[in-house]
């Protein structure tokens, strides 16, 4: 993960490191009337990546001398995705990360049951800022695996 304290640095990093096709898709709103596409604002690009699961919603660090907004980019995850896809168009909802409570709700199980499943490594998890997160696609895969038995 890469942390940015200013949104323009986040945008600049993406412009310097993403393929042009992905930049065009991510940075511009297509026009349906033949007009030149309009450029999105930096924060909209950021929120779009958050919705796709490639960035984390910013937070304010209360321990800093001044409250600092931090924009977090899951760069390795985005790079891995782009190695197998030449576009960002896919079912990004499956890539989103769920909290433990959201995962419990999705599977209709209690927290202890979910933690047992995680301990047995039936569902992979990731720690983001010391909180366990589970990718929606992994929950769907777990359900499919259990159906086949």
The pLDDT value given to residue 69: 77
Domain residues for the domain of 24 are 2-92
The pLDDT value given to residue 109: 93
Structure tokens, 131: 């909180």
Buried b (16+ CB within 10 A) or exposed e, 71-91: bbbbeebbeebbeeeeebeee
Instruction: Give the C-alpha separation, 37 to 122, whole Å.
Output: 45
Together in a domain, 84 and 126: no
Together in a domain, 11 and 83: yes
Together in a domain, 86 and 63: yes
pLDDT in tens, the chain (149 residues): 898 888 899 999 999 999 998 998 899 887 766 677 888 999 899 988 988 888 886 655 555 555 567 888 999 989 988 888 777 776 656 678 889 999 999 999 999 999 999 988 788 888 888 888 998 888 988 888 888 66
Together in a domain, 27 and 74: yes
| Final residue of a structural domain among 69, 92, 115 | 92
Together in a domain, 120 and 65: no
Together in a domain, 84 and 19: yes
Residue 120 burial class via C-beta count within 10 angstroms: exposed 0-12, middle 13-18, buried 19 and up: exposed
Together in a domain, 66 and 134: no
pTM for the structure as a whole: 0.56
Domain count, the chain: 2
Together in a domain, 19 and 68: yes
């Amino acid at each position: 993960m890469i942390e940015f304290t200013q949104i323009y640095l986040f945008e600049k990093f993406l412009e310097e490191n993403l393929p042009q096709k992905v930049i065009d898709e991510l940075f511009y709103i297509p026009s349906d009337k033949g007009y030149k596409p309009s450029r999105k604002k930096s924060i909209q690009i950021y929120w779009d990546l958050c919705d796709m699961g490639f960035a984390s919603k910013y937070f304010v660090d209360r321990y800093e001398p001044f409250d600092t907004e931090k924009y977090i980019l899951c760069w390795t995850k985005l790079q891995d995705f782009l190695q197998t896809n030449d576009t960002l168009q896919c079912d990004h909802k499956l890539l989103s990360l769920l909290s433990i409570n959201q995962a419990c709700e999705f599977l209709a199980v209690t927290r202890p049951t979910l933690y047992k499943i995680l301990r047995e490594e039936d569902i992979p998890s990731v720690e983001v800022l010391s909180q366990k997160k589970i990718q929606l696609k992994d929950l769907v895969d777990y359900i499919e695996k259990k159906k086949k038995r």
